[in-house]
Structure 1
Amino acid sequence: MTWQRLETDTLPRTARAVVIGSGYGGGVVAARIAADLPPGETLILERGREWLPGEFPDSWSTVQRNVRTPRNPMGLFDLALGTDVDRLVGCGLGGGSLINAGVMLQPLPDVFDDVWPAPIDADELAPHVERVLEVLKPTTVTTPPDRTRPLEKLARRHGVAVTAVPVAISHRPPGENGFGFHQTSCTGCGNCMTGCNIGAKTTVHASYLPLAARRGAAIVTRTEVRTIVPSPDPTHRWRLTGWRYEYELTHYRRVEFTLDADVVVLAAGALGSTGILLRSARAGLPLSTALGTRFSGNGDAIAISYNSATVRQSGIGAADQQNPDLDVGPTITRMLDMRTESPGYVVQDAAVPWPIAQLLRRLLGARFALARDSRVYCDLRPGGCPVGCSALEHSQTWLAMGNDSAAGVVRLDARGEPVIRWTNAGQQEVYKAQHADFAALSEYAESTFVTNPRHAVLNRGIAARSPITVHPLGGAPMAESVEQGVVDDGGRVFAPSGGIHEGLYVLDGAICPRSVGANPALTIAALAERGAAKIRESGILHQAVGASPIEGALS
């Protein structure tokens, strides 16, 4: 099967509307506003490259080659190991949807507490949630895989039921979906989080972005926006500056660009959008003093039940993604829901993708080599052992999300890149509760409890002091006023002198003022749907730009 690329290589000098980022925020907004503008007047800028099914990493060596670094800016995996918080996000056309599990969970209504602007609550978001679900069409796995049995035991201990998790993965016969993207049926290989090479996952690249392109949006990849300031050209409101990445023989070369636009929507992710705003503030754009605050890791946590005494688990992705030897299923299938407790959280089963498993075999094998266990030796044996006999193939990964304090702060380092500062982030009660459940799951699985794998290897299994997040939120929180936040309930950027910066928006995870206690993709996409609707209703897409285009910005 040959998939059609969406990207174009031509970067215009001007555009009516520019959307920075292409994930659950940017892809959604672009698809909606493109319907109101002539072809070519909506521009999507993505810092990474376009990935088609079949191009994603399928071995540990290709994963290594696709970790994003300054010398490898097109890497799919943007990983940063911090002193306070580790984080992993996606880099590519489709954003985080390329490497997430595609879970579509609604937050509980009480998540929308008084830190959100008054208009934002579950009822207000409900119609926008429905629009997202209509596009992504999540489904559940009917029969739970064997790896969920310990989760069922833990649920009985807590007096709750294990529930099926809706995931945006196609189980329909192969063919074009409603947006012109060819999708196949899920093979159950379990490799969702290193990128779906089958073409079954309904990513933003397989849904909203083809819709945006069909409506005339131009999509330009390998383009990283660094700052946004008022344009000196009176016919445009905003000037974007940044880098285009051009490949030369062995490396990427950065080429500076400038681009003028009338409407700009920041949707580069919690750290990406916050970083752009922080650099723009350094360049002179007046912004709220709340910029960089209310960062949340969404209470994310990970653990492994290693080398279970029970039968082989379905917790490792298959090497053959077209014809897996074991029905692993999607990455996440079931959930223990403890969100009504204090602190609230969820625990989910997970399958480690095959490429990542090849690293874990060696790391955990070396960690437990003195156990004198033949399964561990299989993981360490050069060339491996027959399928099904290793310690890692008898292991299970668990994920958790919950309500953290959202007390992190995002600042710029010496290179102008966003970093997270959050003293004692890992000592919050939510992590202690998750840690206790992870330990119980390992006991039920008759296995060895391994906390955050990085800390398990480096710190010999002690509890992680710094958590890892794959769902960063906040940094440009929405609020009622400029004193409390960076944007209003529609994502419009506040001007400190009063009013808003006309034509400048943030619509992605950066605007969430707290954790959502579950996988946040559906919430982010719903906020983007609502924000896009407000942009369209405001008439700004068709509004003439005057000589004094913005209120409260630079003179």
Structure 2
Amino acid sequence: MTTYRPIATEALPEECSVAVIGSGFGASIAAARVAAATDDVLVLERGREWLPDDFPADFADVRRAVRSRRNPLGLFDLQLGADVDRLTANGLGGGSLIYANVLLEARPEVFDAQWPSGIDADELRPYADRVRAVLRPQVEDRHTPKAEALAHLGRLHGRGPERLPIAVKLHGEPGPNAAGVHQPTCTRCGNCVTGCRVGAKTTMWMSYLPMARAAGARIVTRTEVTRVVPGSGRRRWEVHGLRHPASGRRRTPMPFVVHADVVVLGAGAIGTTGILLRSADAGLATSAQLGTRFSGNADSLSVSYNAAGRRSGTGARDAAAPEVAIGPTITSTLDLRTGPDGYLVQDGALPYPVAEALRRVLGLRFALSADSRVWCDIRPGGCPPGCGALEHSQVWLAMGTDSSEGRVVLDGRGQPRIVWPEAGAQAVYARQLADLRVLSDGSSARFVGNPRRALLQRGVPAATPITVHPLGGAAMAEDVDHGVCDPDGRVFQADGDVHPGLYVVDGALCPTSTGANPSLTIASLAERAVERLVERDLPTLVGSPLRTGGTR
């Protein structure tokens, strides 16, 4: 069994050359590349550090890991809104801790509208290669029954499913990854999205963050940044925030200020936009476009409940030694991106810690229905002990292109929320749900098309979208009239110049949906922006001498 040690430190300095806010795909890449180029890099993460053994093992753990005002260090940041629901991560490693590991490049047509002219598929490809060299994605080569129904839907559309590249150590012997961190081989437990307890999933905590730490970066957790404002002489910028206590009776966070020459915002689309909105309220001059062009990436989620045949779409109780090889959360996709409302449909797996809750919820909901029979009870020979309706169920995921017309605003407590009336009325969602329903009908399963309705919240409209891929809010553009940042991630001033030493490197930059799982696009944009930061800007922004080869 592999023993992992924390990489974060408790000591919070008062100043640094470069402050990186967040630790997801964009921020971790920035931390690793900048730390390789210069000394005195500080990473500030609002959540706590999660070692593999810390991730939830059952539903009680999941409940304790939901972020709230009373539990600011919870892993799962679930926000239920009037227009759009969202689920993001809160911890060292950001969204990579609970993502489904898929690394797909956006198709060329994604960049045809709304994106700056210098950003396209050809421009990002070498940076995507750089990301793949670190994360080393692999393709599942084993038989995965949970993906079989995609072939049925594919026949209706005249195409077949494809296996996906995923950032998981699926093959080969356990050993060091590109960052020198030991990784075991995947056990195919299916519990990726509640955190990998095995250590086979290549998160930012397993890759770019150790690279940053090895290069000298200081990583501090439980530091929630609230705003960034121009400095008063000590350094160029002041980073204001709250330090959350690790545990104990003292639950009141303590305010802090870090003085920095360069600030790199990578707190995620919602987090980064929220910081900029609060900074604007505190006097930072920004574009009037701040908060606009929000996209939920046309995400959908459904469940085919109680199918006629047994599925392998429920995660294993024992992640280290699963009784059945479920496979990673996502292994395959059916590509239906044929027009402006095109989308992907992907197989999914219910992680065991969540599945046990849905077993009760869905069982209660359909207990009195005419079709409430459990198929494994009536099949000849029955099913193995412990098999029930949920073992005959399957999660399906879809994502594509929405209108990117949402807005991120601050509520009365200064927290970001999404405003997007009629978001779920877009045609792409209706088309997705029609296909997802086919996946249920083809296996005699009960279709559950909205997770909040599955939780018996009857007043929730069926079409309320939930996104796990929030994008935009501080979108890049050619000029200040059309976006918040320039194509290199530099934040515009209100007059059209850029703020020296203030950057955005995460999904907030994306002015539209990516039409696919966005992690590789976000990471590629970050690699590109940081390359320019290091080679063009850093020599004049910080006083310490630069090393060579910082972005390679």
- Tell me the amino acid that sits aligned with residue 201 of structure 1: K
Displacement of 1:148 in angstroms is 1.6
Q: 1:377 to 1:440 in 2, by over 3 A?
A: closer
Displacement of 1:458 in angstroms is 3.0
Q: 1:299 to 1:99 in 2, by over 3 A?
A: same
Displacement of 1:456 in angstroms is 3.5
Displacement of 1:294 in angstroms is 0.3
Q: Does 1:22 align with 2:23?
A: yes
3-state SS of the aligned residue for 2:526? helix
3-state SS of the aligned residue for 1:331? coil
> Which consecutive unaligned segments of at least 5 residues does structure 1 have?
380-384, 546-555
Q: 1:400 to 1:374 in 2, by over 3 A?
A: closer
The answer to whether the Cα contact below 8 Å between 1:296 and 1:514 also exists between their aligned partners in 2 is: yes
Q: Does 1:512 align with 2:510?
A: yes
3-state SS of the aligned residue for 2:257? strand
- Tell me the amino acid that sits aligned with residue 543 of structure 1: L
Q: 1:334 to 1:351 in 2, by over 3 A?
A: same
For 1:382, the equivalent position in structure 2 comes to: none
For 1:410, the equivalent position in structure 2 comes to: 408
Displacement of 1:461 in angstroms is 11
For residues 292-348 of structure 1, the C-alpha deviation after alignment (integer angstroms, 9 at most, x for no partner) is 0000000000001110012x1010000011110111000001101011234110000
Q: More deviation in 111-120 or 393-402?
A: 111-120
For 1:44, the equivalent position in structure 2 comes to: 43
The answer to whether the Cα contact below 8 Å between 2:222 and 2:246 also exists between their aligned partners in 1 is: no
Q: How does 1:537-552 map to 2 (within 5 A)?
A: 537-543=535-541
CA distance in 2, matches of 1:209, 1:347: 31
For 2:380, the equivalent position in structure 1 comes to: none
Q: More deviation in 449-458 or 191-200?
A: 449-458
CA distance in 2, matches of 1:511, 1:462: 30
Displacement of 1:421 in angstroms is 0.3
For residues 498-545 of structure 1, the C-alpha deviation after alignment (integer angstroms, 9 at most, x for no partner) is 311000001100010000011000000000000010001114255358
CA distance in 1, matches of 2:258, 2:446: 54
Q: More deviation in 301-310 or 243-252?
A: 243-252
For 2:35, the equivalent position in structure 1 comes to: 34
Displacement of 1:386 in angstroms is 6.6
CA distance in 2, matches of 1:158, 1:470: 26
Q: How many residues align?
A: 536
CA distance in 2, matches of 1:541, 1:228: 22
> Which consecutive unaligned segments of at least 5 residues does structure 2 have?
378-382, 544-552
Task: Compute the TM-score of the two structures, normalised by the length of structure 2.
Answer: 0.94
Q: How does 1:23-172 map to 2 (within 5 A)?
A: 23-38=24-39, 41-171=40-170, 172=172
CA distance in 2, matches of 1:143, 1:386: 22
Displacement of 1:164 in angstroms is 0.4
3-state SS of the aligned residue for 2:447? strand
CA distance in 2, matches of 1:125, 1:225: 30
CA distance in 2, matches of 1:516, 1:471: 10
Displacement of 1:250 in angstroms is 4.1
Q: 1:247 to 1:52 in 2, by over 3 A?
A: closer
The answer to whether the Cα contact below 8 Å between 2:64 and 2:74 also exists between their aligned partners in 1 is: yes
Displacement of 1:354 in angstroms is 0.1
Displacement of 1:143 in angstroms is 3.1
CA distance in 1, matches of 2:488, 2:340: 30
CA distance in 1, matches of 2:528, 2:298: 25
Q: How does 1:12-411 map to 2 (within 5 A)?
A: 12-38=13-39, 41-171=40-170, 172-233=172-233, 235-250=234-249, 252-310=251-309, 312-371=310-369, 387-411=385-409
CA distance in 2, matches of 1:539, 1:78: 34
Q: 1:80 to 1:378 in 2, by over 3 A?
A: farther
Q: Does 1:455 align with 2:457?
A: no
3-state SS of the aligned residue for 1:261? strand
CA distance in 1, matches of 2:265, 2:58: 34
Q: Which of the numbers 505, 523, 526 marks the counterpart of 2:524?
A: 526
CA distance in 1, matches of 2:152, 2:238: 57
CA distance in 2, matches of 1:319, 1:156: 34
3-state SS of the aligned residue for 1:75? coil
For residues 183-208 of structure 1, the C-alpha deviation after alignment (integer angstroms, 9 at most, x for no partner) is 10000000000000000000011000
CA distance in 2, matches of 1:29, 1:214: 14
The answer to whether the Cα contact below 8 Å between 2:489 and 2:529 also exists between their aligned partners in 1 is: yes
Displacement of 1:114 in angstroms is 2.8
CA distance in 2, matches of 1:247, 1:319: 29
3-state SS of the aligned residue for 2:112? coil
Displacement of 1:146 in angstroms is 1.1
